[in-house]
Structure 1
Amino acid sequence: MIETENHPERVLIVGVQTENISDLKFETIMKEMKALTETANGLPVGEITQKLRRIDQKSVVGSGKLVDVRDFVINSDIDLVIFLNRLSPNTNMYLEEQLDVKVIDRVQLILDIFAQRARSQAGKLQVELAQYQYLLPRVIGQGTSLSRLAGGIGTRGPGETKLEQDRRVIRGRIHTIEKDLKQLEEHRERTRIRRQSGREFNIGLAGYTNAGKSTLLRELTESETYVQDQLFATLDPLTRKLEINGHDAFTITDTVGFIDELPTELIHAFNSTLEEIRFVDLLIHVVDASHPASNMHEDTVVELLKELDMDHIPVLTVYNKIDKADPGFEPTLQPNVTISALDKKGIETLKQAIWDICISNAEEFQVEIQPEEAELLALYRQKTLIKDIEFNEEYQYYILSGYRRRLTDIRNEE
């Protein structure tokens, strides 16, 4: 059933807690599943959970629990069942046959949200590619279940009207998307090189989804950005100029939020977004200090940064929403600042911390500039952090001293 504005899909969420998942983590991710469902415009009607040593390879839940799931589907007029646990194509098919409704898993749910939120050309293409690659084994040869894939949560986005095409056409589309993405990747690489040579100090925002990154970007740069209290509110990278201590030689980029056990498909799907912060001078790791699972969230981000080979970048952890945090809250990661993004004093404290770290990782320079080199003087003012400008009366030239990123001299840049 396809939801309409007046009739969202009625959703049952099912999760199996295996022995490697703690009670706190399971409780947290099940709440997260509800929030994800609502973000996808679904209506969570109920949830069924079960504890097992390992998931059942045939039906995820045990046979008895599957009866409970089927009864709930019938009695509560459920349109869609979403499993927390990842489903193989065969398991997906078996569950749909047994429950007689559409069944998807957490990966498909997140892909659906990505499909709704992507705005850039690269973002839309990457979501479409991830959808095809994940859904292809589930589409081919499923017979009557094909009709369930025609719309609704888990199948929306660029590929929703194409899911019933044959294997050859779908694979052809995958090949075309990969080719288009490669061209976009080459363009992004050229843009990144120009930005790196531009010598501004580049800062990236990272953090668990809904930690407050977009709000922080808005308050730091005093610009209008999309801010919403929902998961994955930001997908496409957004870069703004940032001024600190009277210097505007900073850029800051907001990116897609991380999430616990981020599937490999999604990491690949938003490679372009992550590339935007892969080469920054400083990462600001934003943590929602008021969230009961803040420690789990920060561990997730730290592990994903390692997985993405980004753990070599200097990191400043910002414990956000401190005004709503428990009075006994204690930061665990260093260096850090604890602020509320909506507090002006907190923003100034953060700006100074950014300045101090960038200075500590920069190189000092001193350069002589002739009076007729006005454009070069202006370029140094724009691209570096000028500490002092003196004019040598005897030899008639300016002496500039300050800090810059560890790159070649500006004189040699294009």
Structure 2
Amino acid sequence: MEHFSIIQSLCRIGLGANEPAFRRQVERLQESLLASGAEKEAVVLARLLATSDKGSELRPSKLSLSGGMFRGERLNEKTPPPVDKETGAPLAEIRFPMDADTPLPILGFELQKALESLVMEWSNLDALGAMEVHPATSCLVYGLPGTGKTQIAIAIANRLNLPLVIARLDGLISSFLGTTARNIANLFHFANRYQCILLLDEFDAVAKIRDDPHEVGEIKRVVNTLLQSLDARARIGLTLAITNHENLLDKAIWRRFEVRIFIPLPETQSREKIISQYFPPLRLSDVQLGLVSWLTEGFSGADIETMSRNVKRYMALNPQEEFLAALRSYVLTNAGQGAREHQKLILSDQHELARALYKEDARVFNQANLASLFGKTQPTIARWLKAD
């Protein structure tokens, strides 16, 4: 780029004055260079911006902290999303905040508390400024499919009353040489222009390990562009990324995220809460709730939601059937889900199932509750259990 050395000097001098308006123009220039393929010049400006950040961190102020995050223009319903210049396909979906009281998905107590703490952090920039600290601006959420990762991102955006720019990164990949990197640069240019939260879905699609022998040179260029874009956005807005395959991510990508959260499959208490959320208007007794929780060991929240629909359909069409029949019907049509031993027992004879449940938890599956569950008398249940 002709006369870039002069531009570089002007940017260095201007950034030294710590003026937010000037810094924003340098950021826009860096993003434009990256989008146009001038990667060397974009890297130089990214380093200048990072150096400026380090200097300003020595003197953080309440005013600069509050104004420095979530800045830019306001998104509205008429704002067009960024598009792939080759195909015209949108690079992202814009989701506007709906309900500020949107709850986080049901998670374990400690994890729920940690996420609530992060939301508080992003909601109270001035309080952080008083303590001379910056909020975390990047968060990687990973775990098995159906565990609520996308729901977490939507809930955070609603709580902060900010639009969520959702980009499925597998959709940004192009067969045209260089287009994938340009799509990523254009996506970040859009997100950096507006007040929003950027969500990078299917993150592993472009954040792969660069030394993977099965990947071509193009993926290395794509990862480098992604790294530069994440660096440039670090002081502009909040970036969330979600993946089901964290083992595929490049190590340098991991280091770009200040917060990394693993979302596990729900444990017993969480499963019971999820069941209670999705099964109404079907009312479950305590023993039926315990049975469904036992059967769904190894299920994700999404799996339990799917199961609830199956069971409710069966009970609506077969109101005279027992609840156990609905569970057996579900297991027969959804083989291989969750704990296979539990599925096998649900399909076994009543005597064997009753003994297995009693051994699992004699408090929940006591003789009275088992009698209610199987429609038998307590003496009958007692004989079944003694036959073990």
TM-score by length of 1: 0.27
Q: Larger % of strand: which?
A: 1
Larger radius of gyration, structure 1 or 2? 2
TM-score by length of 2: 0.28
Where relative contact order (Cα < 8 A, 6+ residues apart) is larger, the structure is 2
